[in-house]
Structures are given as structure tokens and as C-alpha cells.
């Protein structure tokens, strides 16, 4: 997992594009989690007492051994002891500190279990298991684990601790939004690369299964019936037949097309699988199964903008019924 390995180059001629996946989950909190995270907002750290009498920090809703509901809250200190640590010379995106820091599991005074967070220290020589630390609070606190900015070294007495707490705060936090974004580099693979490259020349190229001879458009590299690689490239179309369609009445976000419009399955001539596309150049209520259509390209377009009628007579139902 070295930086050098992460920067390893990919072979030339391979298509690639950035792919960003974002998933901001909204999650509700149980009563114990709510008390804990609201407490952090108020600079109070709460644990929960397990059935066996241990104080768990961070606390959970159910006993980790017996699975019983546990609700008895206890206030613990903001000071504690490092139980294990790991020096992180190269902080990664979104981690608690931008400059080198130690990851640490810290058992807060009054707790029997440890909490994971960052420890701000000048260097690895300043960190050891057993060292004393305390919480550095974030300036802006919202009721999240990041309300703890990090831990910092601490020489001094432990905070008071061990008092029961009813977990009641004004305006309790009842949920969190867990933001997440991951950045990928997408490469389409052998079959789809050939398909995309042909599209850039305004040609539609599918692949034929060597076993059942079906022509797949767009090709995905394998015949799902035979479980073998599709091999022979076959140019199909450009014209095709509408095999089925629907009338779209709801405007899609980020799509500048007036509704209603028709979205159709189109079997290009020579293909054994219909692809889908928008039908234009004809009133939406005159589109029909069997309509013969051809692609319309726009300047600089990477794929057909839409399909329009060719003016040929409609195809016989028998000619496309297997493709519906």
C-alpha cells in the first residue's frame, strides 16, 4: 500500500474518466447515542453501564455480550490514558488532523473501554501506550464524534467522573448526516471500450456470441445465456425499429427536454438486443411499435442525441417480436 504503488500507471490506450460517488446517509440515533452525541456538543462525555457493570465509552444501545437494552448513563472524564496508538505521518483526506498525528485508542477516566480518535503530538517519540491525554474540543460543535477535535497530551489530575447522568439536554440531537464522497477512475473494459471508440466515429458496433450467435448492443463482454466472451465485432444499424416505448411526462433533473416525450427500446438492424433512446421529430402521440427510426447526431456528441423516423413503412410485428 505504498504511495509508489498507488501511483502505478495504467496501460496506454485505455479509456478512463473520473467517477465520483457521493452518499450522504441520514441516520437516526437511539436514546443512548443521542445522549452521547448531544453531550459532546455540551462538552460532557457520557458512557453507558453494561449488564456486567462495565462503563462503555463510546456507549451503545444494547449490551455487547447479553444483547439486553442498556440505558444507565454515567458521566466520565475528559482525561484518559492511551491503550494503543499508531503514528500517521501521511494524514489522508477527511481525517481529523491535516498534519502528522497519532491514531489512539483512549480509555477515558471512569470508563472501562477505549474510544478511537486522533492524538495531536509533536512526533512519534512523544507518544507511548499509557500516556495521559485529554480531549481538545472543536470550536464548532454539532453533536457528532468530530465535536472532539482530537486528544492532546495532558499532565495533570483527572477530571471528576463517575456521576450518574440522566442524559437529558435541551434540544437533543436525534440524527446525523454521514457525508461521504469517494473518487474513482472508471475504465470500461475491452468490449465497452471498442463500443465507445466506434461511437466516436458515429458507428454502432456490437459483439456476437460465438455460441448462440446473438449480437449484443451495447456489448458487455459476455453472453449472459452462454456465459462465454462475446468476440466478433459487428456493425449494426444505423436504422432500427421501435420495439416498445413509453411517454415521459415528468421532467428529469438536469435534462433540458420538453415533456411529454417518448423513450423507446430500439432494435438496431442486425442487433439481437434492443437499446434505448429518445424519439424525436414526430409528435409524441404518433410514436408506435414497429416505427422505423435512425440516429440523429449533434455536433461533438459522443452518442446519438435522439432517433427520428426514417419515413420507411413500419416493420412487421413478426420481424421484431423476439426482441421485445
Partner 1 sequence: MARTPRYAREVAVVAFAQSDHRRRTDELSEVEMVMPVLHQVLARTGLKAGEIGFTCSGSSDYLAGRAFSFTMTLDGVGAWPPISESHVEMDGAWALYEAWVKIQTGEADTALVYAYGKSSPGPVRDVLTRQLDPYYLAPLWPDSVALAALQAQALIDAGETDEPALAAIGARSRASARTGNPHAQLTGAVPQGDYQVRPLRTGDCPPIGDGAAAVVLAAGDTARRLCERPAWITGIDHRIEAHALGLRDLTDSPSTRIAAEHAGLFEAPVDTAELHAPFSSQEVVLRKALGLDEGVAVNRSGGALAANPVMAAGLIRIGEAAARIHRRESDRAVAHATSGPCLQQNLVAVLEGDRA
Pairing state between β 45-49 and 181-186: unpaired
Question: Interface with partner 1 includes 58 (CB under 8 A)?
Answer: yes
Query: Is residue 194 within 8 Å of 205, Cβ to Cβ?
Result: yes
d(CA 259, CA 261): 5
* Least distance between partner 1 and beta carbon 124 (Å): 6
- Return the range that interacts with partner 1 (CB under 8 A); candidates 68-76, 172-180, 243-251, 316-324: 172-180
Closest distance of CB 195 from Zn ion, Å? 18
- 158 contacts which partner out of partner 1, Zn ion, none, CB within 5 to 8 A by kind? none
- Residue 291 beta carbon to partner 1: minimum distance, rounded to whole angstroms: 28
Task: Give the nearer residue to partner 1 in terms of CB position, either 222 or 257.
Answer: 222
CA gap 32, 19 in Å, rounded: 38
- Write down the least CB distance from residue 263 to partner 1, Å: 21
As measured in angstroms, the least distance from the Cβ of 211 to Zn ion is 4
Which residue's C-alpha cell is 434540544? 171
d(C-alpha 317, C-alpha 25), whole Å: 47
- Pairing state between β 232-236 and 261-268: unpaired
Q: Which residues contact Zn ion (rule: CB under 5 A)?
A: 209, 211-212, 223, 225-226
With CB cut-offs between 5 and 8 Å by kind, which of Zn ion, partner 1, none does residue 252 bind?
none
Residues within window 184-243 making contact with partner 1, judged by CB under 8 A: 184-193, 220-229
Instruction: Count the residues of the shown chain that bind partner 1, applying the rule CB under 8 A.
Output: 75
CB nearer to partner 1: pick between 186 and 317: 186
Which of 43, 64, 68, 302 contacts partner 1 by CB under 8 A?
64
Residue 212 interface partner, choices partner 1, Zn ion, none, CB cut-off 5-8 Å depending on type: Zn ion
Residue number, 107 or 132, with CB nearest to partner 1: 107
Q: Residue 5, interface with partner 1 (CB under 8 A)?
A: yes
CA separation for the pair 204, 207 (Å, rounded): 10
* Residue 262 and residue 284 in contact, taking contact as beta carbons nearer than 8 Å: yes
Q: Which is nearer to Zn ion, 82 or 209 (CB)?
A: 209
Which DSSP letter does residue 120 get? -
Rounded to a whole number of angstroms, the minimum distance from the CB of residue 154 to partner 1 is 19
209 binds, among partner 1, Zn ion, none (CB under 5 to 8 A by kind): Zn ion
The SS3 call for residue 286 is: helix
Q: Within positions 87 to 146, which residues make up the interface with partner 1, using CB under 8 A?
A: 87-90, 92-96, 103-105, 107, 113-118, 124, 129, 144-146
Place of cell 499508531: 86
Dist CA 258 CA 249 (whole Å) = 9
- In the chain, the N- to C-terminal Cα span, in Å, equals 48
Measure the CA–CA gap between 251 and 255, rounded to whole angstroms.
Answer: 7
Residues 6+ away with beta carbon under 8 Å from 219 = 191, 192, 194, 195, 205, 206, 207, 230
Segment 36-55, which members bind partner 1 (CB under 8 A)? 37
Amino acid at each position: 500500500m505504498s504511495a509508489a504503488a498507488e501511483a502505478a500507471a495504467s496501460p496506454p490506450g485505455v479509456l478512463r474518466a473520473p467517477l465520483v460517488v457521493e452518499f450522504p446517509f441520514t441516520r437516526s440515533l437511539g436514546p443512548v447515542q443521542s445522549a452521547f452525541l448531544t453531550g459532546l456538543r455540551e462538552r460532557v462525555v457520557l458512557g453507558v453501564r453494561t449488564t456486567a457493570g462495565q462503563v462503555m465509552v463510546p456507549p451503545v444501545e444494547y449490551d455487547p455480550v447479553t444483547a439486553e437494552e442498556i440505558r444507565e448513563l454515567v458521566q466520565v472524564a475528559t482525561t484518559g490514558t492511551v491503550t494503543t496508538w499508531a503514528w500517521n505521518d501521511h494524514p489522508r483526506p477527511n481525517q481529523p488532523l491535516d498534519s502528522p498525528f497519532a491514531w489512539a485508542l483512549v480509555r477515558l477516566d471512569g470508563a472501562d473501554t477505549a474510544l478511537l480518535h486522533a492524538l495531536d503530538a509533536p512526533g512519534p517519540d512523544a507518544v507511548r501506550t499509557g500516556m495521559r491525554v485529554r480531549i481538545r474540543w472543536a470550536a464548532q460543535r454539532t453533536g457528532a464524534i468530530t465535536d472532539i477535535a482530537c486528544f492532546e497530551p495532558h499532565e495533570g489530575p483527572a477530571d471528576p467522573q463517575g456521576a450518574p447522568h440522566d442524559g437529558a439536554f435541551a434540544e437533543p440531537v436525534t440524527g446525523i448526516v454521514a457525508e461521504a464522497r469517494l473518487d474513482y477512475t472508471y475504465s470500461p473494459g475491452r468490449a465497452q471500450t471498442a463500443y465507445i471508440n466506434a461511437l466516436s466515429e458515429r458507428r454502432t458496433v456490437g459483439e456476437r456470441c460465438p455460441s448462440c450467435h446473438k449480437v449484443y448492443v451495447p456489448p458487455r463482454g459476455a453472453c449472459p445465456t452462454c456465459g462465454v466472451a462475446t468476440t466478433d465485432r459487428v456493425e449494426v444499424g444505423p436504422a432500427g425499429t421501435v420495439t416498445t416505448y413509453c411517454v415521459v411526462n415528468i421532467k428529469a433533473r438536469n435534462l433540458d427536454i420538453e415533456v411529454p416525450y417518448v423513450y423507446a427500446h430500439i432494435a438496431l438492424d442486425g442487433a439481437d438486443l434492443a437499446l434505448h433512446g429518445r424519439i424525436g421529430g414526430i409528435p409524441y402521440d404518433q410514436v408506435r411499435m414497429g416505427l422505423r427510426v435512425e440516429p440523429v447526431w449533434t455536433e461533438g456528441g459522443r452518442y446519438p442525441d435522439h432517433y427520428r423516423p426514417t419515413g420507411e413503412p413500419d416493420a412487421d410485428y413478426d420481424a421484431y417480436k423476439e426482441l421485445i
